[in-house]
Amino acid sequence: MEQTGQIVSCLALAIALAACTGLRAWLPLLLAGLLARLGWLDLGDSFRFLSSDPALLVFAVATVLEMAADKVPALDHTLDGLSTFLRPAAGSLLAASALGVATDPLTALALGVAVGVPSSLIPHAAKSALRAASSALTFGVANPALSALEDLGTVLFFVLAVVVPTLVVALLVVASGLLLRRLLRRAAPPARAT
């Protein structure tokens, strides 16, 4: 029973951490590596490389570049397109590292991909929709301010993911439902007037 509880706890953390990558790809990896280095976040043995000096250096440089490029209107759309592939990969890695505490590395990796990709894409889709609306309404002028809020939101989301992962999972479920409802409304044929 204790094993099941640990797996459920690790799964909630995996989903929550992966969701953080939906806003920023590199910042959650940097934060997870730093917390693991400090002993505040337990990663599976096979994923301890995330807290190594080379990994932290790569994550720090990539975080600065991602955050700076996202403030430039001409670059933010290109970055967002590339991030559609990068964020799910980062989410899968973080999810696998959280699951690596309770399972073997291969199972952790398989489950990491299975939960990391959708968990990352849901916040990414919401962010992309908000960014598109901002670009249309403000011609991109508000996007740098919105990007700064995304930076702050990523940090806050990460803290919640580590402290109360089940809350982040619940928020993710609600966001999924809202996105699904919006997609279904768009896909539904318009009602005929009789």
More confident residue, 179 or 44: 44
State both tokens at 87.
């964020």
Among 2, 39, 36, 21, residue whose Cα is nearest residue 117: 21
Q: Which residue has the higher pLDDT, 116 or 5?
A: 116
Spatial separation of the C-alpha atoms in residues 60 and 67, rounded to whole Å: 11
Q: What is the average per-residue pLDDT within 133-146? A: 84
Nearest-5° Cα angle at 147, 142 to 149: 100
- The amino acid at residue 119 is S
Residue 178 lies in a domain: yes
- Give the model's pLDDT for residue 1: 56
- Tell me the pLDDT band of 191, cut-offs 50, 70 and 90: low
Which pLDDT band, with edges at 50, 70 and 90, does 192 fall under?
A: low
How is residue 39 annotated by DSSP? T
**Number of domain units in the chain:** 1
pLDDT tens sequence across 58-108? 999 999 999 998 888 778 777 777 888 899 999 999 999 999 988 899 999
Asked whether the beta carbons of 119 and 15 are under 8 A apart, the reply is yes
Q: Whole domain around residue 106: which residue ranges?
A: 2-187
Round to whole Å and give the CA distance between 6 and 60: 30
Residue 106 lies in a domain: yes
Residue 193 domain flag: no
Q: Which residue, 148, 160, 191, 166, is CA-closest to 5?
A: 166
Is 117 among the domain residues?
yes
Q: Is 190 helix (H, G, I), strand (E, B) or coil?
A: coil
192 within a domain of the structure (yes/no):
no
Task: Please indicate, yes or no, if residue 8 is contained in any of the structural domains.
Answer: yes
The whole-model pTM stands at 0.86
Residue 194 belongs to a domain? no
Residues 6+ apart with CB under 8 A from 117: 18, 88, 91, 92
Pick from 67, 64, 70, 115: nearest CA to 92: 115
CA 162 to chain centre: 13
